[in-house]
Every structure is written in structure tokens, then in C-alpha cells.
Structure 1
Amino acid sequence: MKKGILLVNLGSPDSPEPKDVKKYLGEFLMDERVIDVPLWARNLLVKGIILNTRPKASAKAYKKIWWDEGSPLIVLSERLQNKLQKQVEEPVALAMRYGSMTIKKGLQELVNKGVEEVLLFPLYPQFAMATTETITVLAEEIRQKYFPNLKIESVPAFYNKPDYIEVLSNSIKKHLQGKNYEHLLFSYHGVPERHIRKSDITKSHCNPSDKVNCKCCKIPSEAHKYCYKHQCVEVTRLVGEALNLKEGTFSTSFQSRLGFDPWLQPYTDRTIERLGKQGIKNMAIVTPAFVSDCLETLEEIAMEGEEIFHEVGGKEFTTIPCLNDDDDWVALISRWIKEWATPETVMV
């Protein structure tokens, strides 16, 4: 069977204009795995409130980070795809979960090249309802409807794979070289606490409200396979060990909360503010929930986060880029693909 790879990232509006941002936000926020409330309530919230108030503000934010080539997320994902294609024999296509670069188009591109078996690669290190799960569920729905003879295998969360941790740690080390930072903050995209409970296959293990010691994240459990919070905390721990970071000089936080329901804590903006008020003058921040820089990293963190830090007395605010199309990252994905494409090798 001819094999191919479909990389899938989050997505982006076609332009930073309000009408395109509104269209994109509508698709994104109406996903039942993003805002997981009954349809009537989601319609009321998204179409009745958010889409009448948020697109202009979001468009303004997108305009701050938009490149001449287009959306940074799209451009960086395409660079990754192009570099990867040069290192593997199998055709590599790119799709987005939301927006005009649909998963259906990506699968069709591979099928047109004679592909019969696809490695679906969600570009997220950690599992989450609103990222990995929504991609795999939609891909299967599309397969059943349009490509019933196509076989699809999904890459599982790779947050704790030693070779990934090595690449991520080396990237962080490289970008911090020569920097005199006092604290390294690992900021992850936030999700509502209820997402953690819904993903708990044991229905009894996860306690997302455990904000300080995260006891349930440290107790071995089958629930960790689908626990986004555990997987984020574990990345911080593993990278901390790899870089020999001293206790108290690094921590974990969560960004991009929406609405009034409890989200994973501590919140990134409040953490940045607290560190500045505690006298930290030089801090660095990395965003390991993303492999490609996007609105959340380039505007919310690199711009808004730095502004907060300076307002409370901070001096140097270092933003570490995502892996993007880093050569070591490309080489690692290439090796994973080659292992998958070899019949006697089983991906884990």
C-alpha cells in the first residue's frame, strides 16, 4: 500500500480582516470540542455574543503579527512541510483543522497521488479534546464519507518521548544562550477544567483544580494518556531535568482563557505579573503546547506578556520560539515517519 503523511495544525483566517476573522472564529468556536456546551447554548454564546464583539479585536491582534507571506502559523507549517518532504520518500500534505486548508483537501491531495494509507500527524505534543481529538474525529468522519478505502493511523501524543524532549530542550538551551534570565516560565494553552474531567477515562483520577502540587498528575494512572494537564506538567518536569534547572527557577502556567468557567491554573498573565512584582527582572518564556508560532505566541505572549512584565518593573523578557521548522525537529519527524513506513516497525 502506498503511504503518505498528513500534517494537521490548528488553522488561521485567510486574512487579518474582520470578515475573515469572524468566519474563522465561527468555525473554531462552534466546534463542540472547543466550547463543549449544548448546541443551543453554543449558538447563543458564539453567534449571539462572541461573533458580534470579538472579530474586530482579534483582527487587530492578527494584523500585529501578520507577515508579508501571510499567516505566520500557515507559513511556518508550510516551511515544515517542505523541509520534511525533502527528507522522506512518502508524499507529505498539510491541512488545518479550521479554515480553508481543510483536512478533506489534504486527504484528497494524498489520494490523488495514489496514497492508500495515511499517517495523520496532529501537530500537538499533548492530547486535548480541543486539539488532537477534534482532528482525529473529523478525519475519521471525512474518511468514512469520502474515502472509505483509505486507511488512517494517527500519531499519538508525543509529549514524553525522550527524543522529542531532547529536541525541545536543545532548542530552549540554544535560544537562552547568553541570556541572564532568573526564571523560565513554561506557558501552555489553557483549557476549561471540565475538559480534563471529561477526558479522564477512569472518571475518578483527575483533579484539575489541584493548582499547587498537582498531586493527581504525579500519581501513575491510565488517565494520564488523555490528561492534558498531566502532559503539560510532565513536559516541564522532563525539560527541567534535561536542562538541570534549579527548583524555583522555572514553573508552569496556562494562557488564553475564555469566558467565566474555571480554566487550568495558574494563569500566565497573572504569573508574569506576580513574578515581576516579586522582583524578577529578567525572565524567559517558552510555549511547548505549540510546535508552530501563532497568534497566541507572537501576540498574546511576546507582545501582551512583555507589556505586563514591564508594567510591574520587569526589564528583560525573552520569548523562546516554537520548534517551527528547526532542523533537529524536522529530522526527528522524518525519523518517526521512516519508522512508521517500515513494515516491521511499530510506532509507539
Structure 2
Amino acid sequence: MDNSKRTAVILANIGTPDKPEVGAVRRYLFEFLNDRRVIDLPWFFQKLLVNLIIVPFRAPKSTKIYKMLWTDEGSPLLVNAEKNRQDLQKSLGDKYEVYIAMRYRKPSINSVLNEVKEKGFGKLVVIPMFPQYASSTTGSIGQYVAEKISKWYVIPEYRMISQFYDHPQFVKAFAERINSYNPSEYDHIIFSYHGLPNRQIDKTHPSIDSTKCTCEKELPKHGHFCYKATCYATTRLLAGALGLSPKDYSVAFQSRLTRNWLNPFADEMVVEKAKQGVKKLLFVAPAFVADCLETTVEIGIEYEELFKEHGGEKLQLVESLNDHPAWTETLRQLIHSV
């Protein structure tokens, strides 16, 4: 088939170390944390902080955590991505060619784009694997792709799906995943999202202080690309699909580095719920479409231990979409929508 009549699809994620070894983790962190969209401090302070403090000290600690995550097949993020790619390829058929790419490490976005360029596809669709837009994830991928293809002599028709938290099929897919864990059997549900510095949220709407916004209750006009607002909107959509009342669930943000990040903080909420007498806690992470260090280890292991230390009995992580057929269908619908 003539490639000029075909569409290349890139499923792009942040990335993963090549191996659970200090050298590989150090290389991954170096690429990741030197991204100007990830740490948006002045250039000199970013380089000083990342290269002389964070990476040297964090790499050995992170390596131990990655070893807990790794399976015989390799990094779960990469393994699930490849399964997802294969399923989506079958679903879309010969008019499409599906690739996976990582913003940092392998398979790199650059190498995949080079193949797309070489084959001469007529259309390119990029889907960052993040339901809610954030500058440090979707924004970074979008900027990188745009900079690369802007240098091509022939630029194909190009579309990037910047977020999909409110797509009906995505909501349906995640709700099905949650329902499979019988949420009514739990005392409380926490919807946990990856945290971000408050200053990055404020850059989305400079005239409005995110700590004083009412986006917890409804999506404001300025909130379409506000990560905090869309996280709360995602929760409301899922709660509606599951028939939950406000007392049944809470929203929290995990993986914080400082107290100037989005709150409430998930680790503190875990302790709070345990002290309130909650015995069975269900955790949902709708900012992640594939299980990774932040879900499997941080929530599934670290938070469970924290919960039990303070009187809780069971903390259950809801498995992410991974290679579930409903997730493949979500991606198929997203691609056909553009």
C-alpha cells in the first residue's frame, strides 16, 4: 500500500530506564530532569540542582525501587506499551502503522520519527499517554515532535491529541476497571493523580491563583488545559459513571517533592483515613494509563505499608488500563476522531 495514503500513529510516553541498574537509571534521570518543561527553574539553578544534587543522590535510591518494579519481561511500562501497540495495530488495520516511543530513553521519539519520515506517511497522529494535559508531559512531547518535524522538507498532515480525560470511552474503560474491584466493598476510594508544583499550574492561568480556584467543584472557563482542574473533572466523571456520592471518595496528589505542590497529599491522606477508622481503602490512579513505578510501587507497596502502620487493614490499587481491550477501543476512537 502507498504510504502516502497511510497514517502513522505514535503512542508516546515519558519513558523508562533501559535496565534497573544505577548507570541506566542515572542516564534516564539525566534526560528527564534536564527537560526545561519538567523543571522550570532558571537554567543555571536547574543544571546545578539536577546534575550535582538530584541525579547523583537519587539514582541509587531509584534503582532499588525500579528493581521492585521490574519483571522477567522487563519494564512493565514498556511491556504493556508493546502489547497495547500490537492490539491497536490489529484493530486499525493496514491503513495505519502504530509505533510506541518514549520521550526519554528507548525507543526514542527521534528514532521513530526518522522511520516515519523515511517511509513517507501521508498523516501523523501522536497520542501522548496522559489523559490530562500538563506542560511537563504532553507539552514536552508536543514541543519535541513539533521541533523535529518542522525541519522536514515534506511535513505530513499532523495531529496531536493533547488530552482525553473526558472522552466517553476513556471514562467507560476506567470505570469498568474500577468496577471489577467491587468498590462497594471498600470503606473509601481515593482518586490519586501525579502531583505538580503549584507554580506550573498557575502558569496555565497566570491571572488566577490555583490554590484559590473552585475547580474542585466544577470545570471553570479557564480550566480546559489546567491540570488541577482536569484531574478533578476526571474524578467527577468517573464518580458519575460509578454512581458514587461525594462522601464515598476523595482526590489526592502523589509523588510530591516539596509542600509547594498540588495538595491534598496522597501519603498524608492515607494516614488520615487510617486514623479516622477506614479499614479498607481503594486507590484509583486515572492519570496513568499503564502501571508504573508511581502506581505499582508507590501506591501498591509504599502506601499499603503506610496504611497498615496507622491502623488500616487493606489498601487495594486498581490496576491501570494497560492492555485492556476497552483501552484499545479508546485509542481507536481517538485516532478516528482526528
Shift of 1:42: 0.4
What TM-score, normalized by structure 2, do the two folds share? Answer: 0.94
What TM-score, normalized by structure 1, do the two folds share?
0.91
> Is 1:99 equivalent to 2:90 in the alignment?
no
Determine the C-alpha separation between the residues in 1 that align with 2:126 and 2:299: 29
> Counterpart amino acid of 1:287?
A
Instruction: Write out per-residue CA displacement over residues 32-66 of structure 1, whole angstroms, 9 at most, x where no aligned residue.
Output: 11110011000110011011210000000000010
Q: Is residue 2 from structure 1 mapped to residue 1 from structure 2 by the alignment?
A: no
Matched, 1:315 2:313: yes
- 1:109-163 Cα offsets, whole Å, 9 max, x none, are 3334431310010110000011110110010011123565233210131111222
Partner of 1:60: 64
Corresponding position: 1:140 with 2:142: no
**Equivalent residue for 2:36?**
32
Root-mean-square deviation over aligned CA pairs:
1.6
Q: CA offsets per residue over residues 193-246 of structure 1, 9 Å max, x none?
A: 01111112xx323x3324xxx514546544212100000001111111111112
> Residues of 2 paired with 1:37 and 1:10: CA distance?
20
Superposition pairs for residues 195-274 of structure 1, below 5 Å?
195-200=200-205, 203-205=206-208, 207-210=209-212, 215-218=214-217, 221-258=220-257, 260=258, 262-274=260-272
Which of 125, 134, 141 is 1:128 aligned to? 134
Aligned length: 332
Q: Which residue of 2 aligns with 1:279?
A: 277
CA contact (8 A) 2:169 2:329 kept: no
Consecutive unaligned residues of structure 1, counting only runs of 5 or more, are 341-348
Q: Which moved more, 1:326-335 or 1:302-311?
A: 326-335
- 2:184 equivalent to 1:184: no
Whether the 8 Å CA contact 1:208–1:264 is kept in 2: the answer is no
Name the CA shift for 1:319/1:104 in 2 (closer, same or farther; >3 Å): same
With over 3 angstroms needed to count, the CA separation of the structure-2 counterparts of 1:82 and 1:266, relative to structure 1, is same
Query: What residue in structure 1 maps to residue 123 of structure 2?
Result: 117
State the match for 2:88 in structure 1: 84
Structure 2 equivalent of residue 175 of structure 1: 181
Q: CA deviation at 1:287?
A: 0.6
Q: Which runs of 5+ in 2 are unaligned?
A: none
Check conservation: 2:128, 2:141, Cα contact below 8 A. yes
Identity rate of aligned residues, in percent?
Answer: 38
Residue pair 2:102, 2:109 contacting (<8 A) in 1 also: yes
Greater mean alpha carbon deviation, residues 21-30 or residues 220-229:
220-229
- Is contact 2:219–2:233 with CA below 8 Å preserved after alignment? no
How far the C-alpha of 1:175 sits from its partner, in A, is 2.6
User: What letter corresponds to residue 211 of structure 2 in structure 1?
Assistant: S
Residue 51 of structure 1 aligns with which residue? 55
1:106: how far off?
1.6
Q: 1:251 to 1:4 in 2, by over 3 A?
A: same
Q: CA deviation at 1:76?
A: 0.8
